[in-house]
Structure 1
Amino acid sequence: MPTFTLNSIPLSTGVTLDVATAGDPAHPPIILLHGFPESHRTWRHVIPQLSTDHFVIAPDQRGFARSSKPAQVSDYTPDKMVADLLALADHFGLTTFTLVGHDWGGAIAWMAALQNPARITRLVIVNAPHPFVFQRTLFDDMAQRAASQYIRAFRNPDFEKHVASIGLSAFFDGSFAAHTDLAKMAEEKPIYLDQWGQPGALTAMLNWYRASPILVPAMDETPERPAFLDGPFPPIHQPTLVVWGLKDIALLPSQLEGLSALVPDLTLVKVDAGHFVPWENPDAIVAAIRAS
């Protein structure tokens, strides 16, 4: 039986998002943001647990699944997704809320919390790098730079041709094989392939990478260092829980170095999982949220 309802919600930002909801709207609200290459299904094991005492909202973000897929790369700059988030909160009449983000959803959550401390009263990050730390490590940590070279591949305008040549099924296997036991994803695979096969979905998902301002140097490149890396960076003032799967091979432990200086009210929980913690170890996320 479904543990949530899924409805299409038009937003003031001009997009329509499919949004999963669960729990009593009178309970404290919590918004869950998924990352690449997923959807609200990222949270399929988390939503039922949190909905016992929260009003849970989990959108398919722009470009994913059956949500709107604007045509231009510029439609996927991070500020657009932050605007979608706030418009979604407005739709439900939420003055304040807890925000949870994984992967790209976490990147949007970091930015949203920095810019909107009066509305986002609590932040939960799951294996998503702080923007300052991530950009710094892409210059200073060659292991992280190597692990992030896939971003350069995703930004290649011919990447969709590559996926077409191998097929979505092989792309699914390649996306997850290095990160988890594919047998664990067997039941989900048809759902992913259906979502990725929606018209324009693959390009829309990849446009998140193409529109990002993050610089990912090639391994043999020595580009000019961004000036902001050697200056002060504004702190996150909200209570912030970071849940980190220690087996993540895409985001290395260097993402946690210096984080406490940028997030004074930080709780860090390290868990047994790879990058896709929400479905590899959902109980650990729920337990950390309840304990913090």
Structure 2
Amino acid sequence: MLHGWPFHKASFRKLLPMLEPHYTCYALDAAGMGESGWSRHTNFSFYGHVERVRAFADRMKLTGYSVIGHDTGGTFARMLAVSDAARVDRIVAIDTEVPGHLPGVVPKLQWAFRRRWGRALFKAALGSPALMRRWLGNVGFFFDKRMIDDEYMDLFVTSWLRSDHAYRGLLEYLLGVDHSFVARLDVLHAKIEVPMLFVWGEKDGVFPVKRAREMVARMPDKASLAVIERAGFLPHEERPEEVARHVLAFLNPEVPVRLRRDTA
């Protein structure tokens, strides 16, 4: 399970309990994020992130695995389907990059993060809960703005201020986002042989569902799309049970989907 920006492995905390009864799950922190270890020598390119996941699979002696990725983690998942094709069985990509579309805020933040004043300004913004709640509410992270609660703020906003190292990691991850690679995603898709499921929040303000539909329409034999109503950019946070049902049905279509609530 691979997260995106500005998140870490805890972004799967609501989905994990529904998948763990059926599968062994590994939620990973990408370099720079969460509790990951990184240094000034760390490769923050897309390829660097993917190679670390492959190394993890090697270390765990995995002979086969599926990947669930959100946001940029969904792009890493698709890259793994090509670079580790012998082991990757299926791909689930949740509200992820689409060919030729990069959210306008990304290049703006990258430009600011390369400047000392920009890094200081964004750090000050993270330290203002009222400002961050307003921004998150406006960019389409959630359909239900009540989801931007104290727990969410503690995990994915103020946590980046716990140390200079944590804050710098947040910036380095985003600086590694490759615009040109995103523009060529159709080329990557043409190389993927395994089934793919795209899960999308109907009200996603980061990656519009219209673009997801267009992308999947270009891959009629490889991919399917599940749209989650009343959900934004984080459907696995906002409507985890519905996401879990789609994921479980996709990973093993022959087994009826049973969640704990079904037998409660």
TM-score scaled to structure 2, two decimals?
0.80
Deviations 1:2-49 (A, max 9, x none): xxxxxxxxxxxxxxxxxxxxxxxxxxxxxx111111111111111111
| RMSD, matched Cα | 2.6
Residue pair 2:79, 2:188 contacting (<8 A) in 1 also: no
1:249 deviation in Å?
0.8
Name the structure 2 match of 1:151: 106
Amino acid at match of 2:190: P
Matched position secondary structure for 1:249: coil
CA distance in 2, matches of 1:36, 1:232: 21
Using CA pairs below 8 Å that are at least 6 residues apart, which structure has the higher relative contact order?
Answer: 2
1:174 deviation in Å?
5.0
> Which range is displaced more, 173-182 or 202-211?
173-182
Q: 1:269 to 1:68 in 2, by over 3 A?
A: same
TM-score scaled to structure 1, two decimals?
0.73
1:274 deviation in Å?
0.3
Tell whether 2:15 aligns with 1:33: no
Amino acid at match of 1:206: L
Q: 1:207 to 1:232 in 2, by over 3 A?
A: closer
More strand by share: 1
> Which range is displaced more, 282-291 or 162-171?
162-171
Tell whether 2:77 aligns with 1:109: yes
Which residue, 197, 200, 213 being the options, matches 1:241?
Answer: 197
CA distance in 1, matches of 2:67, 2:161: 25
Residue pair 1:235, 1:263 contacting (<8 A) in 2 also: no
Which residue, 244, 248, 261 being the options, matches 1:290?
Answer: 248
Q: 1:172 to 1:61 in 2, by over 3 A?
A: farther
CA distance in 2, matches of 1:280, 1:248: 12
CA distance in 2, matches of 1:104, 1:230: 15
CA distance in 1, matches of 2:31, 2:178: 18
Name the structure 1 match of 2:155: 191
Residue pair 1:160, 1:202 contacting (<8 A) in 2 also: no
Name the structure 1 match of 2:261: none
Q: 1:242 to 1:232 in 2, by over 3 A?
A: closer
CA distance in 2, matches of 1:263, 1:94: 30
1:63 deviation in Å?
0.4
Which residue, 253, 257, 282 being the options, matches 2:214?
Answer: 257
Structure 2 segments unaligned to the other structure (5+ residues): 251-264
Which residue, 52, 55, 79 being the options, matches 2:24?
Answer: 55
CA distance in 2, matches of 1:53, 1:34: 21
1:160 deviation in Å?
1.5
1:259 deviation in Å?
2.6
CA distance in 2, matches of 1:230, 1:289: 23
Residue pair 2:19, 2:248 contacting (<8 A) in 1 also: no
Which residue, 127, 130, 133 being the options, matches 1:168?
Answer: 127
Name the structure 1 match of 2:256: none
> Which range is displaced more, 260-269 or 119-128?
260-269
Amino acid at match of 1:90: D
Amino acid at match of 1:84: R
Residue pair 1:63, 1:205 contacting (<8 A) in 2 also: yes
1:1-292 correspondence runs (5 A): 32-71=1-40, 75-130=43-98, 133=99, 135=100, 137=101, 148-156=103-111, 157-158=114-115, 159-170=118-129, 172-174=132-134, 176-178=136-138, 179-180=141-142, 181-184=144-147, 185-192=149-156, 193-215=158-180, 234-252=190-208, 253-262=210-219, 264-272=221-229, 273-292=231-250
Q: 1:155 to 1:191 in 2, by over 3 A?
A: same
* Matched residue count: 237
Residue pair 2:69, 2:77 contacting (<8 A) in 1 also: yes
Q: 1:112 to 1:169 in 2, by over 3 A?
A: farther
More helix by share: 2
1:66 deviation in Å?
1.9
Identity of aligned residues (%): 22
